[in-house]
Structure 1
């Protein structure tokens, strides 16, 4: 099973996981790593490193909220590690896709798949509904 690490600013990571589990039910192998207010990049790095060290040897997909933010900067160090991928722009459709497909989609395709789902899930409803 692919381990999913949701790494975000504040409690967004926990909220995304809770929302996804409302739809899919409880999920194993999903971890929240929030960057808390006032937490230093060094402390956050230690927190993420401790989790990733426990998961070493597994396939790990790190879902990040913001390209260039502290969670991204810390997680990017691990993308060179074998069996680790990082994807930014976390949203609920991406996490749902991960939860529902991680057991049957090859790990090498998961990052591409959720990037596409995340992008396709963004819509401007006004023009669509005014047609």
Structure 2
């Protein structure tokens, strides 16, 4: 059995701090969530201050850990991408509930850096036109 201490960790980087409420919602599905930390970029933060806060946490992450950011091209993703050059972490932009659930499940199996493609696909496949999907299911019955 893998202990929580030996599992890869997940770091959420978001604009405004919506990662913690997301985790609170997911607890309704998963129960307790351990090994997930959020660093929120707030309007008062400078780039330098945010970078230093993130680097201080990234330095402590075990190998194979994952940074999930809210969207590509923003400060959160840019800081994570820069730090991934110096630390053994993977970075995925596009944080959503399905992506985080998949990452939580996959980390039980080992390093999250080894399954980035699958995690990206889990996030992508969770975004769909629900009405069209239901119609397609009904037509196949």
| Contact 1:59/1:84 (8 A) holds in 2 | yes
Q: Any stretches of 5+ residues in structure 1 without a counterpart?
A: none
The residue number in structure 2 matching 1:18 is 24
State whether structure 2 residue 99 is matched by structure 1 residue 94.
Answer: yes
Q: CA deviation at 1:60?
A: 1.6
User: How far apart are the structure 2 equivalents of 1:105 and 1:113?
Assistant: 14
Q: CA deviation at 1:34?
A: 0.7
| Contact 2:12/2:38 (8 A) holds in 1 | yes
Structure 2 residue corresponding to 1:34, chosen from 35, 40, 48: 40
Q: Any stretches of 5+ residues in structure 2 without a counterpart?
A: 1-6, 137-141
User: How far apart are the structure 1 equivalents of 2:92 and 2:102?
Assistant: 13
Q: CA deviation at 1:107?
A: 3.3
For residues 72-102 of structure 1, the C-alpha deviation after alignment (integer angstroms, 9 at most, x for no partner) is 1111112223521000011000000111121
Structure 2 residue corresponding to 1:66, chosen from 65, 71, 74: 71
What's the Cα RMSD here?
A: 1.7
Q: TM-score, normalised by structure 2?
A: 0.83
State whether structure 2 residue 55 is matched by structure 1 residue 44.
Answer: no
Which is higher, the Rg of structure 1 or of structure 2? 2
User: How far apart are the structure 2 equivalents of 1:28 and 1:88?
Assistant: 21
Q: CA deviation at 1:21?
A: 2.2
User: How far apart are the structure 2 equivalents of 1:105 and 1:112?
Assistant: 15
Aligned residue pairs: how many?
130
| Contact 1:14/1:34 (8 A) holds in 2 | no
| Contact 2:8/2:111 (8 A) holds in 1 | no
User: How far apart are the structure 1 equivalents of 2:94 and 2:126?
Assistant: 12
